[in-house]
Amino acid sequence: SITSSKAVVVADPDDDLTREVAFYDQALEAAVLGRERIKKEGGVFQRPDDYFAEMIKTDDHMAKIRQRLLDENASIQASERAKAQRDLKKFGKKVQTEKRLEREKAKADALDKIQALKKKRQGNDNTTKADDDFDVALASDDDEMKAYKTAGKGGVNQNNKRSAPSSAESRGKRVKKDQKFGFGGKKRHGKSNTADSSADVSGFSVKRNKSTSFKSGHKAAKGGAKGAKGGAKQRPGKSRRQSGPSRH
Amino acid sequence: MSTVFKAQKSRKDKADGVVEKSTEDKSVFRNKQRVLLLSSRGITFRHRHLLTDLGDLLPHTKKDAKLDSKSKLHIINELAELNNCNNCIFFEVRKRQDLYMWLSKTPNGPSVKFHIQNIHTMEELKMTGNCLKGSRHILSFDKNFESTPHWMLMKELFTQVFGIPKTARRIKPFVDHVISFSIVDNRVWFRNYQITEKPLEHRSATDTTDLTLVEIGPRFVMNPIRVFDGSFGGQTAFENPEFVSPNVARSNIKNAKAGRYKSRMDAIAKKDEKLKGAEMPEDPLSENNVFA
């Protein structure tokens, strides 16, 4: 074989990286020189790609090596993704708390303003209610008033939700729920009768009341469930009723 | 006669471009080296794998059975004679821990004894290269080998033992890999790299050539102990003054540990003595004497 002794090795103590780099450089130089010499003497240097012969390491072994490299790569990528997720979450949380504090502060300031105005009003005029003069006295395009108006419980605007794409069903459902549980206005006496609702006779139909089939006392047929009433308009279930008239 | 015939036949079979005409004069140097690979008894798995790796790398070797005795090494000369080998690599394992490697030119040539450390065999998954089994290699030596005569001698020995002759039987025609010997910290570091040619598109700006090296094979560190005049014996031609035998190294560590305990005990004894010497006679005005 050909030997070449050009390179000088740097004197390292235990520094692995520089030492290996020095060995690599030495061997590379030797390889280059060796290739020239072999080509000059007419020998064959590199094996062609279709030359299959027994290798020093078996194919199984090389497969193990390859698998190990792939696993390493996969684990690195997984850990990077997890790290990115964690950072994103931290950032999002920070932004959320900042916004919340901002809104609460604005709300508190607005309330202070209202109190101040109330005091002023009470000093001057005892007959008018503070509620009626609310909108007139306080400028409603003030930043704090805007925040106060949009802020719900905890400073979060309850209508301002990050949501999935809304379908007709969810929109109607949301609207209904807001009307029932949302904010703004009295909801407490929704099921109590008012003058209008007691005078409303649209739910009564003489024909229906007069029909005798399937009244109480008539034995129901076997398996005659709700769907067997016939003639009477089928009333939708509770959830469908609650989700509002927008459901098809 | 048979060797001449064999030489002619092998020359015909070779895929090498170099053709030595048989009609030329006999002064053409025919490099006929054969290496006997041996080990002593008590060899561990790592050393055994290293031995087989060397056997795979060097196709002009012949593996032989384990040698029983560790003292009468001169019988290796006869074994080599029997096997028609003129070099020998002998792994001597002591205490099932320390590996010593003998490299010698068997009939009466010089021999070197090394202590081998930091063994990584070819099995390790971090070495990703591969090469043809029995392909010839390029030997690369560090420039430090030219500095002193004992290094030069070792370089010559490495060349003859690790260099594959063209007429070896099990060789493959291509040159796949390069074996490098470097001297760092007064030791010889052995590395084996696979040579790959990089295609144009993968080359980066800092590359000077189109060759890259990937580490294949075993890696170990040889610490020379002695160079002998004869094979497995004889006069010492060179002795490494910096060599610390592994037994001595281990005992140093143990003594250091024992030394700590010993020094602590000494300090305690000294303190006792000091306190004893510092005792004074009882003072007549002390509390004990006044208030009985």
Please report whether residue A247 resides in a domain.
Answer: no
Please report whether residue A55 resides in a domain.
Answer: no
Please report whether residue A24 resides in a domain.
Answer: yes
Please report whether residue A148 resides in a domain.
Answer: no
Q: Does B158 have pLDDT greater than 70?
A: yes
Which burial class, exposed, middle or buried, applies to B199 when counting CB atoms under 10 A from its CB (0-12, 13-18, 19+)?
exposed
The residue written with tokens 């390790």 in the block is B124
Residue by residue, DSSP assigns chain A as: --EE--------SS-HHHHHHHHHHHHHHHHHHHHHHHHHHT---SPPTT----BSS-HHHHHHHHHHHHHHHHHHHHHHHHHHHHHHHHHHHHHHHHHHHHHHHHHHHHHHHHHHHHHHHHHH-SSS-HHHHHHHHS-TTSHHHHHHHH--GGG--TT----SPPPHHHHHHHHHHHHHHSSSS--TTTTS--HHHHH--TT--HHHHH--TT-TTSPPPTT--GGG--SSPPPP-HHHHHT-TT--
**Enclosing domain of residue A22:** 1-44
Please report whether residue A13 resides in a domain.
Answer: yes
Q: Which chain B residues are closer than 8 Å to A5 by Cβ?
A: 140-143, 145-146, 155
pLDDT value at position A136?
53
Chain A residues interacting with chain B (CB cutoff of 8 angstroms): 1-9, 11-13, 19, 22-24, 26-32, 34-35, 38, 41-47, 51, 53-57, 61-62, 64-65, 68-69
pTM of the model: 0.62
Please report whether residue A211 resides in a domain.
Answer: no
Number of structural domains in chain A: 1
pLDDT value at position B164?
86
Please report whether residue A57 resides in a domain.
Answer: no
Residue in B with minimal Cα distance to A67: B125
Please report whether residue A117 resides in a domain.
Answer: no
Q: For residue B151, count other CB atoms closer than 10 A to its CB.
A: 19
Residue by residue, DSSP assigns B67-86 as: B--SS-TTHHHHHHHHTT-S
Strand B98-105 versus strand B135-141 pairing type: unpaired
Q: Write the pLDDT tens digit of every residue in B202-255.
A: 666 666 678 889 998 899 999 999 999 988 888 999 899 999 999 999 999 999
Residues of chain A with pLDDT > 70, as a percent, come to 68
Q: Write the pLDDT tens digit of every residue in A116-166.
A: 988 888 777 655 555 554 545 556 566 666 666 665 555 555 565 565 666
Q: Which of B187, B92, B90, B127 is nearest to A13 (CA)?
A: B187
ipTM, two decimals, is 0.76
Q: How far is CA B168 from CA B58, B121, B158, B164, B240, in A?
A: 10, 25, 17, 7, 34
pLDDT value at position A197?
85
Alpha-carbon gap: A35 to the closest alpha carbon of chain B (Å): 9
Tokens coding B141 = 């030596």
